[in-house]
Amino acid sequence: MASTFNPKPLPPKPSSTHFQKTPHLLAHTLQTPPKTLTHQHHQDPKLIITGGAILSGHVPISGSKNSALPILAATLCCSGQTKLKNVPNLSDTRSMLSILGSLGAQVEVFGDEVVVSTDGVRSVEPCEGEIGKIRGGFLVIGPLLGRFGEAVVGLPGGCDIGARPIDLHIRGLRALGASVECRDGKVIAHASNGKGLVGGRFRLDYPSVGATETLMMAACMADGVTVLSNVAQEPEVIDLAHFLMDTGAFVEGAGTDKLLIKGRRKLHDSEYSIIPDRIEAGTFLLAAAITRSCITMSPIVPSHLSCLINKLVTAGCKILQCTPDVLEFSAVPAKSRDGLHGFDVRTSPFPGFPTDLQPQTMALLTTCQGLSVVEESVFENRMNHVTELQKFGPRIQVCGSTALVFGKDSGRLYGSRVAASDLRGGVSLVLAGLAAQGTTEVNGIAHIDRGYENLEMKLRLLGADVKRLTIPP
């Protein structure tokens, strides 16, 4: 029987120290999106991968995109200067900073540190163009409504992996006393009693990550006590709760299915470090697995990845070292190079198997022994990568939200010209390219740049042959 991975518990999170305010303005490296992101598809840069390299060495893991986005939105709840550390430099975080800037916030960027002051915010209507690019931008609605009593926010963008409605955000805000209507592609919200939001009770029909985050932030600024049930338990929700508590909020129950929040009108300044990106870390574990390699990575919170690691151990991989923040992982088979066994996956909310690792896991399963079944239960349309993965040669059969992956016996992977249509689907093609014989060209990599910081540089650090080709306009 496969052994179960039991990570050591983390030490308690240190309480925040107060940030020494820095009056100077320095480089705004995160605020200027690279030109290539605004180009048409045929002018997009592409990744060229020569497959077959065995990876080795150490990869640094960046801060979490899905924590950084809500925490940047939450700076709108805070007076004074908020200093965030370990913020990843991604097109999504740059969009989020533009959204804050469009409201009148002052944003300064020093490498991976971002200092935000929202005291000068005068607008409650963020730039619609940026909101429409990313999912996390919509999260400003809760803080705006809580602090200013109104918000006018365009409909969110993000990966095209399903309908992704926002009904739970809206119904939850109504339960806190807001009047909310959707008109002309915008959500227009008012704290309808004229005095601001009021505490209330709301049960989410589904533990939506985004709706939980919207309601947590709104409840922190509402008058009275709020109880939210059937909430999301993802590490990013816990990270947001820790940030809010550091700024003076009272949030109890983060990481369980019920939150109790005592509202205050305004939160104060703080200094806070974003957690490591578990999805980026998981992607590198899968990169090592698909190339049958041994690598180390840090920083990482192993318990955030228990579900994936247990599956990989079942497949035949080994955890050689696991401390609270470093992981040494080996997929080097004992005898032959292709000894990993397939396994079944059903995505579900945390602590279940993360939907954001489903496409990358499917890429690995095409190289494993036997038939694997991959079921996507979180999003209704997250199988777009399959047609592109099939171009590498393996047999994959899709029926609705379930894929049958026939594994290495259905054929080995051959380099191919493919195109990303979303973030994680896109990176699954990069993983397939690492394992394929010959050269792979991955187009549409603006999708990948939304969520991976320096992907090709990090892969090269591990010994992969990956180049970014930027075609001049």
Residues at the site binding ligand UD1, with contacts judged by CB under 6 A:
66, 69, 135-136, 162-169, 206, 208-211, 355-356, 378-379
Residue 237 Cβ vs ligand PEP, minimum distance, rounded to whole Å? 14
Whether 159 is a known active-site residue: answer yes
Residue 328 Cβ vs ligand UD1, minimum distance, rounded to whole Å? 27
Q: Closest residue to ligand PEP, Cβ-based?
A: 158
Q: Which amino acid makes up residue 10?
A: L
As given in the structure block, the two tokens for residue 198 are 């009021």
Indicate the residue among 83 and 135 with the shorter CB distance to ligand PEP: 135
| One residue of 53, 74, 90, 159 binding ligand PEP per CB under 6 A | 159
Q: Which does 133 bind (CB under 5 to 8 A by kind): ligand PEP, ligand UD1, none?
A: none
The answer to whether the beta carbons of residues 53 and 465 sit under 8 Å apart is yes
CA nearest to 389, candidates 424, 351, 359: 359
The answer to whether the beta carbons of residues 116 and 73 sit under 8 Å apart is no
Calpha distance 93→116 (Å, rounded): 13
> Measured between alpha carbons, how far is residue 107 from residues 35, 75, 219, 289 in Å?
21, 11, 25, 39
Other beta carbons within 10 Å of 60: 14
- What crossing angle do the helices spanning 65-74 and 209-220 adopt, rounded to 10°? 30
- The distance of Cα 120 from the centroid of its chain, to the nearest Å, equals 29
Cis peptide before 351 (omega within 30 of 0): yes
Residue 42 Cβ vs ligand PEP, minimum distance, rounded to whole Å? 23
Indicate the residue among 93 and 330 with the shorter CB distance to ligand UD1: 93
Q: Which does 169 bind (CB under 5 to 8 A by kind): ligand PEP, ligand UD1, none?
A: ligand UD1
Q: In the range 410-429, which residues lie near ligand PEP by CB under 6 A?
A: 423-424
Calpha distance 203→1 (Å, rounded): 39
Calpha distance 275→365 (Å, rounded): 28
Indicate the residue among 269 and 376 with the shorter CB distance to ligand UD1: 376
Phi and psi, residue 105, nearest 5°: -75, 150
Calpha distance 34→17 (Å, rounded): 34
Q: Closest residue to ligand UD1, Cβ-based?
A: 210
Binding segment for ligand PEP (CB under 6 A), chosen from 16-24, 130-138, 184-192, 309-317, is: 130-138
Which residue is it, tokens 């957690």?
Answer: 275
Calpha distance 116→123 (Å, rounded): 16
Indicate the residue among 153 and 317 with the shorter CB distance to ligand UD1: 153
| One residue of 451, 453, 455, 458 binding ligand PEP per CB under 6 A | 451
Indicate the residue among 105 and 378 with the shorter CB distance to ligand UD1: 378
Residue 334 Cβ vs ligand PEP, minimum distance, rounded to whole Å? 34
Calpha distance 147→124 (Å, rounded): 10
Q: In the range 338-397, which residues lie near ligand PEP by CB under 6 A?
A: 356
The answer to whether the beta carbons of residues 220 and 51 sit under 8 Å apart is no
Residue 325 Cβ vs ligand PEP, minimum distance, rounded to whole Å? 22
Q: Which does 451 bind (CB under 5 to 8 A by kind): ligand PEP, ligand UD1, none?
A: ligand PEP
Residue 286 Cβ vs ligand PEP, minimum distance, rounded to whole Å? 14
Residue 236 Cβ vs ligand PEP, minimum distance, rounded to whole Å? 10
Annotated active-site residue in 78, 127, 159, 220:
159
- Can you say whether the dihedral through the CA atoms of 221, 227, 230, 233 is positive or negative? positive
DSSP one-letter string for 182-205:
EETTEEEEEETTSS--B--EEE-S
Binding segment for ligand PEP (CB under 6 A), chosen from 141-149, 154-162, 212-220, 268-276, is: 154-162
Q: In the range 134-153, which residues lie near ligand PEP by CB under 6 A?
A: 134-136
Residues binding ligand PEP (CB under 6 A): 134-136, 158-159, 161, 356, 423-424, 451
Q: Looking at the annotation, which residues are catalytic?
A: 159
